[in-house]
């Protein structure tokens, strides 16, 4: 009888330690898996390119016309999706009637895994070299791809920074190994010259992010992701270098959240040939959002879907 009590006391102590560890971990951030998160933002997104003529030592910047977009984002449980458009009534867009920009961003979470999906389609560029600037109204680019990441520190909330579906309540950071895969179709057209390039890139990076919590409701998030990989352009393979920076400042509470977010992702190839490519995606946004309980019917449908998919609450 005494042996049974000792065994029971032993295992109760072990389970109590695990429960205490989980309790401490939960206090680092608060989850809102059972809430719908809505976000309205005004942002500027662009995919620009650099062409280096090694022989003549000349740099060509291929820059899209500035376009500001209005985005609407919805997040519920493991899924976050956003879509946007660039209306002409915004001041920056009024002089860019020949420019077009469409992008779609999707992000899914599963435990410590996160998967992003990005699509960019744009037309209307400037070719700049030195003091010369040439309009390229017929130039078009299309980019599709995404990133697969794994958060090593369970106390760090990547969702709080990337999707605002959680609330980081105690400062924490994490190393986040990331795999990036993208395809870009680049059509360069000017007068009688019309060429299309197909660019495939793959890179791995040991990204690191940190959420600084300031006076409970305010936070600053910083992140960087240097990486290396390969680029395949029209049968030519070359080394690829990636660098990504993220800076965010925000306010979070149980229902209302708002903030400013800036992200720059840059790819540079080292072909050793006469011409070298550079590719950068920059995004800045100002947003406000609100969380609320979903309709009961939506919860029931979500529960049925969760039973068949690997995503958890």
For the beta carbon of residue 116, count every other beta carbon within 10 angstroms. 17
Is pLDDT at 237 greater than 50 in this prediction?
Answer: yes
Q: 16 pLDDT band (50/70/90 cuts)?
A: very low
Is pLDDT at 13 greater than 80 in this prediction?
Answer: no
Q: Is 303 exposed, middle or buried (0-12, 13-18, 19+ CB in 10 A)?
A: exposed
Average pLDDT over residues 130-142: 83
Q: Taking the chain, what is the end-to-end CA distance rounded to the nearest angstrom?
A: 42
Distance CA 20, CA 151 (A): 22
Q: Work out the percent of the chain whose per-residue pLDDT is above 90.
A: 32
How high is the pLDDT of residue 214?
92
Higher pLDDT, 78 or 120: 120
How high is the pLDDT of residue 309?
58
CA trace torsion 296, 259, 284, 143 (10° rounding): -20
- Contact criterion met (CB below 8 Å) for 71 and 84: yes
For 91-118, the pLDDT digits (tens) are: 454 555 566 777 777 888 888 999 999 9
- Looking at mean pLDDT, say which of 25-39, 75-89, 139-153 comes out highest: 139-153
Residue 118 structure tokens:
């990005």
Average pLDDT over residues 37-55: 82
How high is the pLDDT of residue 306?
62
Average pLDDT over residues 167-181: 95
Is pLDDT at 87 greater than 70 in this prediction?
Answer: no
How high is the pLDDT of residue 204?
96
Average pLDDT over residues 200-205: 94
- Contact criterion met (CB below 8 Å) for 278 and 50: yes
How high is the pLDDT of residue 69?
76
Which overall architecture, per CATH, does domain 32-306 show? Beta Barrel (2.40)
Average pLDDT over residues 58-67: 78
- Give the CA distances from residue 313 to residues 149, 164, 285, in Å, rounded to whole numbers and listed in that order: 18, 15, 28
Backbone region of residue 107 per phi and psi (left: phi > 0; alpha: psi in -120 to 50; beta: other values): beta
Distance CA 184, CA 49 (A): 11
Residues 291, 294, 298, 302, CA torsion sign: positive
How high is the pLDDT of residue 85?
66
DSSP strand E in 77-192: where?
79-85, 100-110, 113-129, 132-150, 166-168, 172-190
Distance CA 197, CA 236 (A): 11
- Contact criterion met (CB below 8 Å) for 111 and 38: no
Average pLDDT over residues 220-236: 90
Residue among 293, 307, 295, 304 at smallest CA distance from 33:
293
Q: What is the pTM of this model?
A: 0.78
- Looking at mean pLDDT, say which of 13-17, 191-195, 237-241, 275-279 comes out highest: 237-241
Is pLDDT at 39 greater than 60 in this prediction?
Answer: yes
Distance CA 304, CA 300 (A): 7
Residue 262, beta-bridge partner list:
247, 284
Distance CA 313, CA 299 (A): 11
Domain boundaries, the chain: 1-31, 32-306
Higher pLDDT, 144 or 76: 144
For 257-305, the pLDDT digits (tens) are: 999 999 999 988 865 556 667 888 888 889 999 998 887 776 666 666 6
- Contact criterion met (CB below 8 Å) for 267 and 276: no
How high is the pLDDT of residue 252?
94
Average pLDDT over residues 210-215: 94
Distance CA 158, CA 164 (A): 9
Residue among 124, 125, 81 at smallest CA distance from 103:
81
How high is the pLDDT of residue 6?
45
Q: 17 pLDDT band (50/70/90 cuts)?
A: very low
Report the chain's mean pLDDT, rounded to a whole number. 80
Higher pLDDT, 267 or 52: 267
Distance CA 140, CA 107 (A): 26
Least confident of 34-38, 169-173, 191-195, 243-247: 191-195
Distance CA 280, CA 255 (A): 35
CA trace torsion 238, 178, 160, 111 (10° rounding): 150
């Amino acid at each position: 009888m005494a042996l049974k009590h000792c065994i029971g006391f032993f295992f109760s102590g072990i389970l109590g330690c695990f429960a205490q560890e989980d309790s401490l971990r939960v206090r680092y951030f608060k989850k809102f898996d059972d809430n719908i998160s809505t976000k309205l933002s005004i942002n500027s997104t662009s995919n620009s390119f650099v062409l280096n003529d090694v022989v003549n030592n000349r740099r060509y910047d291929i820059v899209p016309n500035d376009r500001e977009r209005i985005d609407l984002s919805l997040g519920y449980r493991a899924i976050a999706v956003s879509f946007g458009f660039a209306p002409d009534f915004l001041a920056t867009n009024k002089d860019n009637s020949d420019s077009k920009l469409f992008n779609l961003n999707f992000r899914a979470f599963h435990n410590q895994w996160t998967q992003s999906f990005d699509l960019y389609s744009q037309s209307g560029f400037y070719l700049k070299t030195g003091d010369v600037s040439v309009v390229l109204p017929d130039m078009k680019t299309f980019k599709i791809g995404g990133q697969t990441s794994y958060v090593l520190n369970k106390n760090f909330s990547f969702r709080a920074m990337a999707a605002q579906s959680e609330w980081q309540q105690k400062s924490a950071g994490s190393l986040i190994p990331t795999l990036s895969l993208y395809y870009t179709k680049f059509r360069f057209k000017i007068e009688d010259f019309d060429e299309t390039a197909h660019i495939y890139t793959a890179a791995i990076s040991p990204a690191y992010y940190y959420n600084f919590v300031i006076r409970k409701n305010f936070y600053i998030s910083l992140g960087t992701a240097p990486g290396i990989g390969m680029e395949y352009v029209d049968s030519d393979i070359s080394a690829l270098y990636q660098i990504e920076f993220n800076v965010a400042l925000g306010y979070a509470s149980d229902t209302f959240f708002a903030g400013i977010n800036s992200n720059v992702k840059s790819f540079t190839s080292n072909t050793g040939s006469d011409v070298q490519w550079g590719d950068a995606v920059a995004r800045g946004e100002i947003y406000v959002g609100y969380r609320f309980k979903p309709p009961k019917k939506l919860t029931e449908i979500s529960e049925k879907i969760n039973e068949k998919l690997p995503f958890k609450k």
